[in-house]
Amino acid sequence: MIDADALADVSGLITDLSTTVNFEFEWLVPTEFRYNIYSAFFLVYATTCDTFSVSLLAEDTTICKGDSLQFFASGADSYEWSPTIGLSCDDCPNPKISPQQSTTYFLTSTKYGNCKKTQPIKIRVNENPLLNSFNLTTDTCGENSGAISNINASGVAPLTFSLNGNSSSSFSNLQSGWYNLSVTDVNGCKDDSLVFIESVIAAEANFSTSPEIGYVPLEVDFFDLSRLADNWIWYINGDTISSQNPTYIFDSIGIYTISQIAYNTNFWCADTAYGTIKVFNPITIFIPNIITANNDGINDDFTIQLEGGRYIWWQVYNRWGNLVYENEEYISTNQSTYDLWDGVDFNFDQPVTDGVYFYQIIVKSPVGDSEVYTGSLTVVR
């Protein structure tokens, strides 16, 4: 043969996809003389790694800090991602990533056992802008007077502010409620804050009375102390009064709750104040001047008739000024008859002798007044 003596397919001699092949050449002595003989081997090979490709549906990109995206790879038997920080998995074809800083990821794909390919993907992470401060103005009485102003934020300019999707540098004519305030920088990164516009009642109800407590019939003057109000409604003892400073007469005893509703323009945007008026019977008392302490069940005790009192303290003296009896009682019921003394000297626990004795009675009313009653009492047996 001239030029090429042999062409052989040796793929059957290669195992495990090895790319290292040992050849041995044996020279056989020809039967006739030859000269200018050249011998050489040229190894030409093909491998399945040449046809191995990986489809990677991702490319170098930029995201905002806190955002995430997903890689998609196919065409290999196994995958290995590095570094692993910010990855949902490092050995799957479709990991989600959420890096906190700019990172270059490498995908090493393997097929046919040891065929490998490595591909880089660079992810740049932009810092988010930051809402630093802002001023809130409350909504007064539902009149859509709320506002968000003086918004201060840091980030890559220009910055755009929006409230529930509407862009502006400040926001007014807001009703009470929740709002989403956000700032977006030139990179499309954003920060947001949930803010609440409160609703306030402009008017403040308040009043004073003179007096607050007294005896029936009790005339009471009501003095308006409200703020930012030009309308008033009073509820007094079941009556409705619309004047600013009414006067009312209470003609029966009791404890009365008074309410004042004050408002400006809108009745439904009103404030209410409460107060109490206490009306009592005046002190009236009947004190006898003689008892017959003979235990016949008739006029045996020093008994008084009393109304309008809440506390009684009394003393009884003999003609020489010696104290023979003393006591006190707090009144918590509507009782009107009180037995003060049965004619017994509490020093000796013995009935006193017939004669004239002297008493002192102090009665306090619920209003705080005190009345003092003195006189003589004759004891006859």
**1-126 — its CATH code?**
2.60.40.10
**284-380 — its CATH code?**
2.60.40.2550
Confidence (pLDDT) at 44: 55
- The confidence band for 265, taking pLDDT boundaries of 50, 70 and 90, is confident
Q: Give me the amino acid identity at 193.
A: S
User: Do residues 331 and 348 lie in contact, with contact meaning Cβ atoms separated by under 8 Å?
Assistant: no
Is residue 52 pLDDT above 80, yes or no? Answer: no
Q: Give me the amino acid identity at 66.
A: G
4 against 52, higher pLDDT:
52
When the pLDDT of each residue in the chain is averaged and rounded to a whole number, the result is 88
Is residue 141 pLDDT above 90, yes or no? Answer: no
Confidence (pLDDT) at 53: 73
Residues of the chain with CATH 2.60.40.2550: 284-380
The reported pTM is 0.52
130-200 CATH fold? Immunoglobulin-like (2.60.40)
Residues of the chain with CATH 2.60.40.10: 1-126, 207-280
- The confidence band for 54, taking pLDDT boundaries of 50, 70 and 90, is confident
φ/ψ (deg, to 5) at 350:
-130, 145
- Distance (Å, whole) CA 302 – CA 298: 11
Domain 207-280 has CATH 3.30.70.20: no
Confidence (pLDDT) at 332: 76
Confidence (pLDDT) at 368: 87
- Distance (Å, whole) CA 362 – CA 374: 9
Q: Give me the amino acid identity at 354.
A: D
Give the tens place of pLDDT for each residue, 78-127: 999 999 999 999 999 999 999 999 999 999 999 988 899 999 999 999 99
Over range 361-381, report the average pLDDT: 94
Pairing relation of β-strands 139-140 and 199-200? Answer: parallel
120 against 201, higher pLDDT:
120
Identify the residue whose tokens are 């906190």.
100
Give the tens place of pLDDT for each residue, 202-250: 899 999 999 999 999 999 999 999 998 999 999 999 999 999 999 999 9
